[in-house]
A and B are shown apart, each in its own frame.
Chain A
Amino acid sequence: MAATTETVEQVRAVTEQKYKYGFTTDIESDVAPKGLNEDTVRFISAKKEEPEWLLEWRLKAFRVWQEMEEPRHWAKLSYPPIDYQDAHYYAAPKMKDRPKSLDEVDPELLKTYEKLGIPLREQEILAGVEGAEGKSPAIAVDAVFDSVSVATTFKAKLEEMGIIFCSISEAVHKCPELVQKYLGSVVPYTDNFYATLNCAVFTDGSFVYIPKGVRCPMELSTYFRINQANTGQFERTLIIADEGSYVSYLEGCTAPQRDENQLHAAVVELVALDDAQIKYSTVQNWYPGNAEGVGGIYNFVTKRGACRGRNSKISWTQVETGSAITWKYPSCILQGDNSVGEFYSVAITNNFQQADTGTKMIHIGKNTRSTIVSKGISAGRAQQTYRGLVKILPKAEGARNHTQCDSLLIGDQCGAHTVPYIENRNRTARVEHEATTAKISEDQLFYCRQRGLSEEDAVSLIVNGFCKEVLKELPMEFAVEAQKLVGISLEGSVG
């Protein structure tokens, strides 16, 4: 519990600068020259000593990408053109070799993670097991700093059970057949502008394989942090849950405070085979820019899960409070009969933040079910759009979807938009969509304040209540942190 408590404490300690993670770390780093061409791709691949097939795959993607257009016309986002040549595509903290253990990791780097409250050190995590009322499971952490995964904890313990949890660059060498079989199998290299760019230049990310019948005994977690100025971060995550296995995976993100916008274009692929379950939770608080809308992360992410097997299940739970721009639609392809897809989302936008987010549920197999619960909160001058697709293919006999899409507005300068697309090609399928839009009422605020709560605490309480259905889906360790974040991200939104 120690480490988690510490995280919560840090989140609670509201400093003058509202974004508390806005520090940079002074470490020498190994950076690719600015710009993007085939040589950049080769440089990255060479740095990682990748096999030929992977370099070829990257180059194919790069060539496709060059022909692609940025998808600007349909999303409700506005931002200046991004100069893809004016960024670094590789930045790694300088290390002679890959660290063999935590002791070899640059202490500055560990300090950064400590500041972020990441339970990187195994001792801390172990302490957490004892302190956490006996039921809080330990968390294994893979930490990604700029482009490189710096440490993966608990590796040995997991290996005993046949679980592979490491950085994706390591997986390329350790279990190439798995990587080659599944990489790009859910999000192909031709998928979309940002995903294709990611294929060409992805630098690192996490890899998870859970063998048949294994229930992963702890939460697996990755923390991403962008540190280097003008660095794009392109992580690639691949999670494979073999037959009858279960895994819960947490993703947390932060970035330092900078005036210029930084690009983040990740790809996450999930594969669940027969009777397997993947629970993927994200708490995203990338730097959102300042109150005037300067700076912040541009977050263009492609997340997709394939329920390939019968009775498989994939749940996406996300709490998104950060980034200047969010473009994100975690999706489920429900291929196996009786497979289940879930999407639980809280998205908070304040000041000048913009978010166009939602999900896609593609029903292919029989009796496939999906649930969508989206809670959008807008404050300040923020604009938020829920964009969701529910697609029922002709063979999806008996498919079911239920969508609940609620928006909460704080103040009268922000906007919330709901764009549901429903394509039903099977008569036995049932699709339900409910949407509500509400404002935090004067009555509610006054009631809370009469009971002693400050206006900000009142907003935080009311918003947390509004998001409850989603927050309760988060693993306990994350839920407390998420609740605090909800409050912090709305500071200054009333009054």
Chain B
Amino acid sequence: MIEIKNLHATVDGKEILKGIDLTINPGEVHAIMGPNGSGKSTLSYVLAGRDGYEITEGSVSFCGKDLLEMEPEERAAAGLFLAFQYPVEIPGVANTTFLKSALNAIRKQRGEPELDAMQFLKLVREKTKALSMTDEMLKRAVNVGFSGGEKKRNETLQMAVLQPKFAILDETDSGLDIDALKIVAEGVNALRSPERSMLVITHYQRLLDYIVPDHVHVLAFGKIQRSGGKELALELEKNGYAEFGVNEAA
């Protein structure tokens, strides 16, 4: 699905990613854990194509294509989705309008027919219900006045509607109480399939009780320091990141 090789990236001349190697096969769920400031969000932004990051070395191939050559919207159309750590507010734009524009923009890029209002409404209603969200949330402006938990749920809803091939979830668990966490995890698990891969970024192992990963990686100082199975998450929970030379006051 995605193959990241020796990826180096700098922001404002400062090297943040210092040689990432990571291969994710179809159907696999990988977790990246790491202390604050280790470069987790930077990795997700670089994969999604955000401006302002300079790739100084390395390559990323996505479904056989050179990901780094593509515009962000082309990556979206190719099936890459990023659930943002900090979802962005768009005043005045109704959540449904945003989702419908996004879905149809992607369908158009893929040469698929656009959904009309009725078809879209049916789809989105179904997904909203599955995530215990209200219709009222669909009418509100995108993320405006949403609580932290509502924002994360809204990201999950977008993912459910857009049905990506490869989803990156950047700290989707932060700001969620345990009930909301379960709902979001269920939503994510419902999307797991042999054709779909996920990269779950988290600071805490708690989420991984609900979204059980196939592989866990530890990112620190811009590099993957260790990889293992799901038991690695439990070990980190117990010992913290001290082993990697990180002092955390957590």
What residues of chain A have their CB less than 8 Å away from a CB belonging to chain B? 441-444, 446-455, 457, 461-462, 464-469
Contact = CB atoms under 8 A, between A and B. Distances in A.
Interface of B: 48-52, 71-73, 75-77, 81-82, 84, 87-93, 97-98, 101-103, 105-106, 109, 141, 158, 162
Given A454-B105, A465-B93, 16 more contacts: A441-B88, A444-B90, A446-B50, A446-B88, A448-B90, A448-B98, A449-B73, A450-B82, A451-B105, A451-B158, A452-B162, A453-B73, A453-B102, A457-B105, A465-B141, A467-B92
A104 to B, nearest CB: 41
Contacts of A464: 92-93
B76 A450 contact: yes
Contact of A446 (B51, B93, B102): B51
Contact of B106 (A452, A461, A466): A452
B88 A444 contact: yes
A450 B105 CA distance: 11
A165 to B, nearest CB: 34
Nearest to B93: A465
A338 to B, nearest CB: 31
A449 B76 contact: yes
A461 B93 contact: yes
A452 B77 contact: yes
Contacts of B162: 451-452
Say whether chain A's binding surface is mostly helix, strand, loop, or mixed.
helix
A469 to B, nearest CB: 7
Contacts of A454: 73, 105
B92 A466 contact: yes
A453 B105 contact: yes
Which of A461, A462, A467: most chain B CB closer than 10 A?
A: A461
A400 B158 CA distance: 43
A455 B72 CA distance: 9
B101 A446 contact: no
Which of A446, A450, A461, A462: most chain B CB closer than 10 A?
A: A450
B145 to A, nearest CB: 14
Nearest to B81: A450
A163 B94 CA distance: 39
B108 to A, nearest CB: 9
Contacts of B92: 464-469
A447 B101 contact: no
Contacts of A468: 92-93
B90 A462 contact: yes
A443 B88 contact: yes
5 contacts: A446-B51, A446-B72, A450-B82, A457-B105, A464-B92
